[in-house]
Structure 1
Amino acid sequence: MQATDASRPSPASRLRRFLVVFGPGLVVMLADTDVGSVITAGQSGVQWGYRLLGLQFLLVPILYIAQELTVRLGLFTGRGHGELIRDTFGKGWAWVSALGLGVAVTGALLTEFSGVAGVGELYGLPRAASLSIAAVALLAVVITGSYRRVERVAIAVGLFELAFFFVAWAAHPSVAGMLKGSVDIPFRDRDYLYLAAANIGAVIMPWMVFYQQSAVADKRLTPEHLRAARWDTAAGALLTQLIMAAVLIACAATIGLRKPDASLETVGDMAQALTPFLGQTMGNLVFGLGVLGAGMVAAIVVSLAFAWGLGEVTGYRHSLEFHPLRARWFYGVYAACVVAGAVLVGVWPDLVSLNVAVQVMNALLLPLVLGFLIALAVRALPAAHRLRGWYLWLVVAVSAVTCALGVFGALAGLA
């Protein structure tokens, strides 16, 4: 009995272990609530009140299941997602996954930089100036050559998203209205299904999987960190969906009640629509901080995910622990993503209207993302930690239902 007690880690050692592991899950989840997701949640609240609120909470366990598999793969194999697909299924399938990643990254970067430009415009800052400042800041963060430093900056910036909770509180939503609306679901309405698909697509995206698995490998975490990594992922999954719910509630309780036909395709649209309820200064400040945090942390994660993923497929050096001169391709791809995203939004400002469409595209990519995750969890993990038994069938069933809902909603809305 004494030996058992001696071998049991103390609370202090468990806390130290958690702090070592803490980061990748929270960062990727804060990035998950990116500009496109925020606008999708806002549009959901305006058009459908609280009818899509319940979906936000149903997606918490689905998000956790997907990212927990990602963490498990990173911890037990020590390899990133693209590298693991290449080694397990061959280069052809690795390039298929990289292609899906590239499509998702392109759409995400357009929404992130559109959001940053929109915040600048709230304060009269020219689009070229705000995009240039954002691009320089994003390049400066990563060029330091330290994963832990990048992670700390990403968390600090992403926490500005907590401003959305203040917006929801200030909107004074009706609890009875939320409960009633959550169960009043118009299953046959195509517009509703389209937005439901967009909300599903806003939860699980290819770059999230690539980023978290690569971050776990880059941070050199080991199987002994699995428990703490799961808590990190669970906390992040709950936080990101609470933020989505806060945005939806704020817009449903204000704009949805008085201007249900309002179109919120830009950050400016959202902030201006809330002005009568929060005041112009407060509306701009709170929404500006939230969107800026969402856009910047997502831009870091998305660009790094592509640089890691492409490196894992092609074989070039891909780690933030390498000096930029020793990993030129890795840092070059990251820089190219940042600069290209800023330039495209600067040249074609109307790209902000793609926010909801990008999330729908992510829903259509779900079968590819979840399919690879499950296949790797069955084939690539050590035998004792592979998906098997009832949990395997639970994961397959949940993934199949999620994919079916996302794809059906997307196709129904596009029909």
Structure 2
Amino acid sequence: MSDTIQFQAPAPRATAVLDEAHLGDIHGALGTIRLGDTAARNGLSAKLKTLLAIIGPGLIVMVGDNDAGAFATYGQAGQDYGTRLLWTLLLLVPVLYVNQEMVLRLGAVTGVGHARLILERFGTFWGAFSVIDLFLLNALTLVTEFIGITLASGYLGLPKVASVVLAAVIIVASAFTGSFRRFERVAITLCAASLLLVPIYVMVHPAASRMARDFVVPSLPGGSGQLATVMLLVIGIVGTTVAPWQLFFQQSYVIDKRITPWFMRYEKADLWLGIVVVVVGAAAMMGFTAAAFAGTHGFAHFTDAAGIAAGLQAKAGTVAGVLFAIALLDASIIGAFAVSLSTAYAIGDVLGLKHSLHRGVSGAKGFYAVYAGLVAAAAAIVLLPGSPLGLLTEGVQTLAGVLLPSASVFLLLLCNDRAVLGPWVNGPRTNAFTAAVIGVLVTLSVILTAAVLFPNISATAILQIMAACGVAGVIVAGYAFTRRRSGTVEDPIDRTGRDTWRMPPLETLTKPVMSTSYKIGMGALRTYLVIATVLVIIKIVQVALGR
């Protein structure tokens, strides 16, 4: 009889991961991390290899948001107002980081997508609303990506139909390989190509000193007479930089990449990399567009992204225009990747379908059908004669701006749910900052809704809306502070052991207790969203019929 003592490894702790394909080795585009490899990374080389393997979710979600709509929005800001709106990008950096950091935390810790968490923790209405909202908004956003493809291919002299069909085939084929690594390599290659905006900036060479000043000194160009127009453009910049689909995409992509809490700091570094790339790209666009149109007849007369390419050609030569068109084509394809995936992930999560890029088509038919169906439908709409493409682009930006506050509200609530995040829940500073951001987003959403319903809204009316929302925000903050001081103090958050903590299966979680104030707040949010969305859609239909 052997005297060797054998120890039985403890059974792995049950988690809420819904698809077994989301468990296993991390097969990133730039490296591999084996399942269970939690050894300390002590040397610079080891840390760099780990970071390279993790890079992907943060980079793709950020660069994917510098898509066709972003090219139009940043280009319009530069062509119509020079670089005087650059400061908006700097202010958005902490918003981008805090929002996406909360999302990646939810993904790594829970193993469950954003839409499914909303469904399970807030009920059927909000779960269905979030998925239907995401599906419709993403479908429209995909159309704008293909509009970008047609503008870029048209400038390059390529046939429209062939370009759209080829782009759709590339977008679908890249995801249909059954290999997460192959898809991510394609996506990161496209992210690298987005840096084509930098040489365009060098070729046009806008005044660096002026840009530096406009980055840090906020101003609203045009005077009081143009305040309404400028405010709507600022809202467009916010809406195109902080889009609802980003939340759903990154949470599910982190899960699909099999990233766990152990690698949280590396994923945060990946997120910062993406933020730097997106801000550099956006600033470059504003800068070289401002320089290209300054002192020309095109200044303050934005048309579309193809017009920007023509302006760059006139300013810096054919190469600059061609590079911009290629960058637009690249951005449109990246955006289409991310938007389609966010929808397919969300629907797979909520309906219980297998939903992973690690699976082949035969192993996740529903997931791939949603992805391919969205891409095919968007391509077909763009090719239909007489499609109101310009109106669709405006409608996407408007609906995204109206619906963004609700996405941020649920994100904040989920990140304070101790049953969901345990030791990873938000701290007081994150909550205070996020609450302030939500207040600003609600204000911008109300202004945008009012501007759609009343196109000739005055600057005075916008200031009155801002003042009213500010007063309401102070009242709500005061009420929350009073409740916190007079109510029962929660136990302090125990952060020990959080590197290995994962959310238990959803069916084992206790349901959150809904206070009266919570129900009133959620009821008010539901009423506003339904009314605002219906009114905006009616207005868009009226404009379409009028045209």
Of 121, 129, 142, 2:175 maps to 142
Partner AA of 1:154 in structure 2: A
Which of 218, 233, 236 does residue 183 from structure 1 map onto?
A: 218
Q: Spell out the pairing of 1:275-354 with structure 2 (5 A cutoff).
A: 275-279=313-317, 281-347=318-384, 348=386, 350-352=388-390, 354=392
Whose helix fraction is larger, Structure 1's or Structure 2's? Answer: 1
Q: Residue 29 of structure 2 corresponds to which residue in structure 1?
A: none
Write the distance in 1 (CA, Å) between the matches of 2:365 and 2:201: 44
Equivalent positions of 1:196-275 (< 5 A) are 196-258=234-296, 259-265=298-304, 267-275=305-313
- Distance of 1:408 and 1:43 partners within structure 2: 20
What are the Cα deviations for residues 328-365 of structure 1, in whole angstroms up to 9, with x where unaligned?
11000000011001100111455146445533332212
2:339 partner letter: V
**Distance in 2, Cα, partners of 1:216 & 1:329:** 20
CA distance in 2, matches of 1:95, 1:185: 39
Q: Answer yes or no: is 1:131 the counterpart of 2:152.
A: no
More divergent stretch after superposition (295-304 vs 173-182): 173-182
Call closer, same or farther: CA 1:209–1:346 in 2, change over 3 Å.
same
Structure with more relative contact order (C-alpha pairs < 8 Å, separation 6 or more) = 1
Give CA-to-partner distance per residue, 1:287-338, whole Å, 9 cap, x none: 1121011001110111111111111112111111122112111000000011
TM-superposed CA distance for 1:176, in Å, is 4.0
Partner of 1:3: none
Q: What RMSD in Å do the two structures reach over aligned CA positions?
A: 2.0
Structure 2 distance, partners of 1:196, 1:357, is: 16
The residue correspondences of 1:27-176 to structure 2 (distance < 5 A) are 27-176=60-209
Closer/same/farther in 2, CA of residues 124 and 254 from structure 1, 3 Å limit:
closer
Deviation by residue 1:38-88 (Cα, 9 ceiling, x = unmatched): 110000111111221110111111111111011000011011111222222
CA distance in 1, matches of 2:413, 2:113: 15
How many residues of Structure 1 are paired with residues of Structure 2 in the alignment?
Answer: 408
Amino acid at match of 1:86: L
Deviation at 1:263, TM superposition (A): 2.2
Cα drift, residue 224 of structure 1: 0.3
For structure 2, the 5+ residue unaligned runs are 1-38, 458-547
The structure 1 residue matched to 2:438, chosen from 394, 399, 412, is: 399
What is the identity percentage for the equivalent residue pairs of Structure 1 and Structure 2?
34
Tell me whether 387-396 or 370-379 shows the greater mean CA deviation: 387-396
Per-residue deviation, residues 212-259 of structure 1 (Å, max 9, x unmatched): 110111111111011001111111112112211110111111214322
Question: For the Cα contact (< 8 Å) 2:153–2:329, is it kept in 1?
Answer: no
Is residue 244–residue 407 contact of structure 2 (8 Å, CA) maintained in 1? yes
Separation in 2, partners of 1:344, 1:147: 29
- Asked if structure 2 preserves the Cα contact closer than 8 Å seen for 1:114 and 1:349, the reply is no
The answer to whether the 8 Å contact 2:403/2:445 transfers is: no
1:387 aligns with 2:442: no
Q: Is the 8 A contact 1:110 1:352 kept in 2?
A: no
Please name the residue that 1:23 is paired with.
56
Q: Is the 8 A contact 1:311 1:330 kept in 2?
A: yes
TM-superposed deviation, 1:8: 6.7
Length-normalised TM-score, structure 1: 0.93
Q: Contact 1:44 / 1:52 at 8 angstroms: preserved in 2? A: yes
TM-score (norm 2): 0.71
Using the alignment, how far apart are the partners of 2:54 and 2:375 within structure 1?
27
Cα shift at 1:173: 1.5
C-alpha spacing 1:76/1:94, structure 2 compared with 1 (3 Å): same
The DSSP-based 3-state class of the residue aligned with 2:420 is coil
Could you tell me how far apart the structure 2 residues matched to 1:403 and 1:116 are? 32
Q: CA deviation at 1:149?
A: 1.5
| Amino acid of the structure 1 residue aligned with 2:262 | E
Q: Is the 8 A contact 2:179 2:357 kept in 1?
A: yes
Rg (Cα) greater in structure: 2
Shift of 1:260: 1.6
User: Using a 3 Å threshold, how does the CA distance of structure 1 residues 124 and 8 change in structure 2: closer, same or farther?
Assistant: closer
Q: Which runs of 5+ in 1 are unaligned?
A: 1-5
Partner of 2:20: none
Secondary structure of residue in 2 paired with 1:183: coil
> Structure 2 counterpart of 1:321, which letter?
H
How far did residue 378 of structure 1 move? 1.0
Residue pair 1:198, 1:406 contacting (<8 A) in 2 also = no
